[in-house]
Amino acid sequence: MSAPVGSFTPREIVGELDRYIVGQRKAKRAVAIALRNRWRRQQVPDELRDEIVPKNIIMIGPTGVGKTEIARRLSRLAQAPFVKVEASKFTEVGYVGRDVESIVRDLVEVALSMVRSEQRQQVATRAREQAERRLLSMLERGGAEAPSTPPTIGPFLVSSKGAVTPPSSADRRSERLADLDADELKRRLRAGELDDELVEFEVQDNSNPLVSVFGGQGLEEVESQMRDMLSNLPGFKGKRELRKMRVAEAREVLEEEEAQSLIEPEAVKREALRRAQQHGIVFLDEIDKVAGQRSHSGADVSREGVQRDLLPIVEGSTVSTKHGQVKTDHILFIAAGAFHVAKVSDLIPELQGRFPIRVELESLEKADFERILKEPKNALTRQYAALMQAEGVELQFTDDAIAVLAEYAEQANRRAENIGARRLHTLMEALLDELSFAAPEQSGSKVRIDGAEVRRVLAPIMDDQDLARFIL
C-alpha cells in the first residue's frame, strides 16, 4: 500500500498549474518545490527522514489573483490527503465554533476515503468474481440465496416484516433458469441477458438509526463518537434484511458487499493515518483574517487565540482522532491571505517563524486578463460558449472583444476596488445578459461578439461611475 505521491517533478507540477492559472510563476514554483520535497523526503534513510520538517509557505497577494485557485489545482495533483480550510472559520478554544484540531481530523477522513477507494480498486476483480459466483448460485436455485445465518433481530427491533416470509417466492420465469446448465447460465449472466431476472437475498441495512443529536458546531467529534459507540451495540449493528431485486442491481450490491469483506478495515486505518502524517497537506486560507493589530480587546483576543491554537498543530503535536493518534510534524501547511489590512508581521511571531517561505502573488493587469479570458482549460469564454451550446447557440468571441473586456476589467479595478480576475465574472455577466435571457429563442444561430459589441453594451455602464460601481 504505497502512495504514488510526488510522481510529478516541479517542472511538471508548474506545467499542470499553468493550464489553469495565468502567471504567478513564483507561487507556482514554491508549491511545486514543496510538493516534490515530500517525495524527496520519502527517499531519505529513516533516521534522517524524521529530522526533515516541511517548509511551510505563505502566499500573499491581493484578492482574486489565484491563491485559492492554485491550492485547488494543487490538491488534484498532489495525490496526497489534502484539506482546505478557512482560518477565519475557527475560533479560540472555549468560544463557539470549530476547534482547530478538526483540521487534522478532516485530513484523516480524506486519507481514509483515499485509501479505501484505492483498496476498492485493488479488490475489484476478486469482488466481481465472488459476486458473480453468488449470483449464479442464486439463479441456479431459482432466484433465492440459501440463508447463511438466521436473521438477527436486535432488542430495538420490533418489525418482523421480511423475516417471516421464507425466501421462496421466486417467480416462474426464474424457475426455468434452474434447468439450464451452469456454463450456459454463466454465459447468459455475463452477456447481461439475465439483468431483468429477480433474485432475493439478505443485505446489510446500513441506514443509520441515529439522527443528529447535537445541533451546534464544535461537537462533531462527540457526536461521531456517539455514533460509533451506538453502532457497536447489538441492536444498532445494521440488521440483515431480505430484499428482492433485479440481477443488474443485485450485482452492484453484491460486489460492494464482497469488496467490503475483502478489505481489512484495520489495515486501511493504519495506512490512512500514516498517509495523513507523512503526506498530508493543509491549505489555510484567509490566514490574514486571524491576524489583528495587537489591540487586546474583543474580537482581536479571539483571533490571536486562534493563532495560538494553530501553533501546536503547525509546530508538530499529536492530535487524537477516532481512528487513532496523528502526529502533525510532517504535515505541510500552505497559508494564504490578501494581507490588505493586517501584515504578515501582525501574526504572532511564533507562527510567522513556522512559515519560512513567503511568496507574493502579483496583481493582474490587462495582458493577464486577456490570457485568463481565453487560455485556461476552464476559461470564462469557454464556459459561456459551453452554456450557450446547451441552448443550441454557437457563441464566439473575437480577440478584439477579449482585448476590450480586459481593458475594461483593468479600468474598473483601478477606479473601484481591485478585485482581480473576479472582475471578469461581473463584466461577462453584464455583457451576456441579453443573450443569456433570449438564447432559447435563438437556437441554431451563431453569435459572434467583437470589440464593437463589447463597447456597445458595456461602455454606457463603464462611463457612468455610479452604475459601474453597482453592476460591475
Minimum Å gap between C-beta 84 and ligand ATP is 10
**Judged by CB under 5 A, which of 37, 42, 68, 363 binds Mg ion?**
68
The option from ligand ATP, Mg ion, none interacting with 420 (CB < 5 to 8 A, set by class) reads ligand ATP
Strands 240-246 and 357-360: unpaired
Minimum Å gap between C-beta 8 and Mg ion is 23
- Binding residues vs ligand ATP (CB under 6 A): 21-24, 61, 63-69, 338, 372, 376, 420-422
| Nearer residue to ligand ATP within complex by CB, 89 or 422 | 422
Cα gap 122→116, rounded to integer Å: 10
Strands 324-327 and 318-321: antiparallel
Residue nearest to Mg ion (CB): 68
Helices (H), 5-160: 10-18, 25-43, 46-49, 67-78, 101-140
Q: Long-range contact list for 244-248, CB < 8 A, 24+ apart?
A: 244/198, 244/199, 244/200, 245/198, 245/199, 245/200, 246/195, 246/196, 246/197, 246/198, 246/199, 247/135, 247/139, 247/189, 247/194, 247/195, 247/196, 247/197, 247/198, 247/199, 248/192, 248/195, 248/196
User: Segment near Mg ion (CB under 5 A), from 1-9, 65-73, 204-212, 414-422?
Assistant: 65-73
Minimum Å gap between C-beta 413 and ligand ATP is 12
Minimum Å gap between C-beta 183 and ligand ATP is 56
User: Segment near Mg ion (CB under 5 A), from 64-72, 111-119, 151-159, 266-274?
Assistant: 64-72
| Nearer residue to ligand ATP within complex by CB, 143 or 420 | 420
User: Segment near Mg ion (CB under 5 A), from 21-29, 63-71, 249-257, 265-273?
Assistant: 63-71
Minimum Å gap between C-beta 28 and ligand ATP is 10
Asked if 405 and 442 touch (Cβ cutoff 8 Å), the reply is no
| Nearer residue to ligand ATP within complex by CB, 322 or 340 | 340
| Nearer residue to ligand ATP within complex by CB, 41 or 67 | 67
The option from ligand ATP, Mg ion, none interacting with 421 (CB < 5 to 8 A, set by class) reads ligand ATP
Cα gap 10→31, rounded to integer Å: 9
Cα gap 127→15, rounded to integer Å: 38
Cα gap 198→221, rounded to integer Å: 42
The option from ligand ATP, Mg ion, none interacting with 64 (CB < 5 to 8 A, set by class) reads ligand ATP
Cα gap 139→69, rounded to integer Å: 52
| Nearer residue to ligand ATP within complex by CB, 69 or 258 | 69
Residues that contact Mg ion, how many (by CB under 5 A): 2
| Nearer residue to ligand ATP within complex by CB, 138 or 282 | 282
Minimum Å gap between C-beta 155 and ligand ATP is 52
| Nearer residue to ligand ATP within complex by CB, 131 or 409 | 409
Separation of CA 404 from chain center: 36
233 contacts: CB under 8 Å, gap ≥ 6:
none
The option from Mg ion, ligand ATP, none interacting with 243 (CB < 5 to 8 A, set by class) reads none
* Backbone φ, ψ for residue 388 (5° rounding): -70, -35
| Nearer residue to Mg ion within complex by CB, 26 or 270 | 26
Asked if 352 and 288 touch (Cβ cutoff 8 Å), the reply is no
Minimum Å gap between C-beta 22 and ligand ATP is 4
Minimum Å gap between C-beta 363 and ligand ATP is 10
Per-residue b or e along 33-63, where b marks 16 or more CB atoms closer than 10 Å to that residue's CB: bbbbbbbebeeeeeeeeeeeebebbbbbbbb
Minimum Å gap between C-beta 282 and Mg ion is 15
Minimum Å gap between C-beta 286 and Mg ion is 7
334 contacts: CB under 8 Å, gap ≥ 6:
31, 34, 56, 57, 58, 59, 71, 74, 281, 282, 283, 284
Cα gap 35→279, rounded to integer Å: 9
| Nearer residue to ligand ATP within complex by CB, 65 or 388 | 65
User: Segment near Mg ion (CB under 5 A), from 10-18, 67-75, 202-210, 455-463?
Assistant: 67-75
| Nearer residue to Mg ion within complex by CB, 67 or 269 | 67
| Nearer residue to Mg ion within complex by CB, 68 or 224 | 68
242 contacts: CB under 8 Å, gap ≥ 6:
151, 162, 163, 165, 167, 200, 201, 202
75 binds Mg ion (CB under 5 A): no
* Element holding 57 (H helix, E strand): strand 57-60
Minimum Å gap between C-beta 454 and ligand ATP is 19
Interface contacts to Mg ion, rule CB under 5 A: 67-68
